[in-house]
Structure 1
Amino acid sequence: MGLLDWQSTELSPLYCHARQTHIIDYDGPPVFGLERPRPPKDIEQLDANAMKHAEALYLQQSLCSLYNTLTHHQNPRLYAALEFQQTTCYLLLLLARNLLIDGEATYLSQVAELEATWDTLPGAKSSAYPFSFLGKERQEMEADVEGVARGIEAMRSIRESIIRADQYEEALDALEQMKDQVIEEFASNEQEREVWQKEWPFGT
């Protein structure tokens, strides 16, 4: 009797994990829909290197467009899922799904911005926007989102400071210095300083 390990198997709607096939290996500007890409109008005026880059990008985008067209004809459900990923509805679902990772600041900010496009959402044309935010609340949301971005950048800089095992002592010193910088940057009073000191995750 064999056992299957399903712990790392994700069960989720198709629109959560639909993506362009990995074999295309395209990492340029997104190519959506069925519209065919076009080369730059001034491609003949570009220098040799820029022209080579533009031609390569055009060919890669053409391949992506071909994939979209084939998917549209041969696998409509997958194509619909890919199209849904470009909507506000999907963005809100994605943010809600990552709420425990990204926090509520980004989600609330997106909900507030939803007021401007509420009438364009499916099924919302006959209903009023159901949320109300004061100007002060919107400012706090913007500040929170900015704080999240700064926090992520701070953690990234800390992570980049720890490189190899032979740099252990140097890394400890860098972490200690970074700790003071982070607390100085984000703590606005003594109580917050104490919280940062207590919750600092790097053991220094």
Structure 2
Amino acid sequence: MFLAAHQPSLIEFDGPKLEGFTQPILPANFEEMSPKAQQAAKELFLSQSLWLLYELEAQKQAPDLVHAFRYRDTHPRELLGAIGTIFNDGEPYMQSLSTDMVQEDVWGKVVGTAVNGKPLIPCPVRYSEEQLQTQAEQYALWQRDVDRKKQVLEELGAYSGWNVAVLPSEFDEMTTRVKAAKGRFLDREAKTAEEVVAWEQVWPFRGHT
């Protein structure tokens, strides 16, 4: 159920989702924002409010559905959902989840524990210290790249998973933002002309540069 359950498309929106039943609020500096920024803030506020109303109603009418939504954030769900990341440069992340899963306290939450606190079923997977060290190093490199992309997205004001698509009326503005963010990124990460070329080749937001 947790793989199939999802919120209706009517309430989906581009922007940050609130955690739990948090009441949405306008930015503290709302009065100082430009008219365009105020309009965007109002639209986000209304979208988050509609999302919250749906969550509250679903909690009353279909608690199992809400449980399925929340199960997405658990370790078993992350592990299942991460299977597809193997084919999308996400293997270090999946391996990290896997190595976490074999820890006795985590595995016990999956299969249950006996009165002595031990898992009811021993975990069938084992990792050597060398394997754990290698996976930790690979994950650290992967996480660093994820953080790099996250920083750029935050500078752009875009959400995680943004596919560079924007409304025609926003194209020029976003192109300006992307070019500026790209310049800052290269200043931070590229130390030589060769590194500039290398980063240029893997820059993900080509639709706006």
Shift of 1:101: 5.1
Determine if the alignment matches structure 1 residue 30 to structure 2 residue 26: no
Give how far 1:139 is off: 4.0
Task: Quote the residue 1:109 is aligned against.
Answer: 96
Cα distance change of structure 1 residues 142 and 105 upon mapping to structure 2, 3 Å threshold: same
Q: Kindly tell me: are residues 65 and 112 of structure 1, through their superposed partners in 2, closer, same or farther at Cα, counting changes over 3 Å? A: same
- The 8 Å contact of residues 183 and 193 in structure 1, kept in 2 or not, is answered as yes
CA distance in 2, matches of 1:187, 1:110: 31
Q: 1:177: which partner in 2?
A: 180
1:89 aligns with 2:76: yes
* Residue pairs, 1:36-75, within 5 angstroms: 63-69=57-63, 71=64
Moved more, 105-114 or 151-160: 151-160
How far 1:138 sits from its partner (Å)?
Answer: 1.1
**Aligned letter for 2:142?**
D
Distance, in Å, in 2 between the alignment partners of 1:158 and 1:22 is: 25
Q: Deviations over 1:9-68 (max 9, x none)?
A: xxxxx431214678999x75438xxxxxxxxxxxxxxxxxxxxxxxxxxx9876444324
1:120 equivalent among 109, 113, 116? 109
- Counterpart secondary structure, 1:15: coil
Say if 1:20 and 1:60 are closer, same or farther in 2 by CA, change over 3 A: closer
Aligned to 1:131, what secondary structure does the other structure show? coil
Identity %: 17
- Which segment is superposed worse, 100-109 or 143-152? 100-109
Q: 2:126 aligns with which of 119, 125, 130?
A: 130
- Residues 93, 186 of structure 1: alpha-carbon distance in 2 compared, 3 angstrom cutoff: farther
Aligned to 1:48: none
Q: 2:199 corresponds to which residue?
A: 196
Size of the aligned set, in residue pairs, is 155
What are the ranges of 5 or more consecutive residues in structure 1 without an aligned counterpart?
1-13, 32-58, 72-77
1:152 aligns with 2:150: yes
Q: Distance in 2 between matches of 1:16 and 1:192?
A: 41
TM-score (norm 1): 0.50
Distance in structure 2 (CA, Å) of the matches to 1:180 and 1:24: 36
C-alpha deviation, 1:114, in angstroms: 2.0
RMSD over equivalenced CA pairs, Å:
4.5
Equivalent AA in structure 1 for residue 150 of structure 2: I
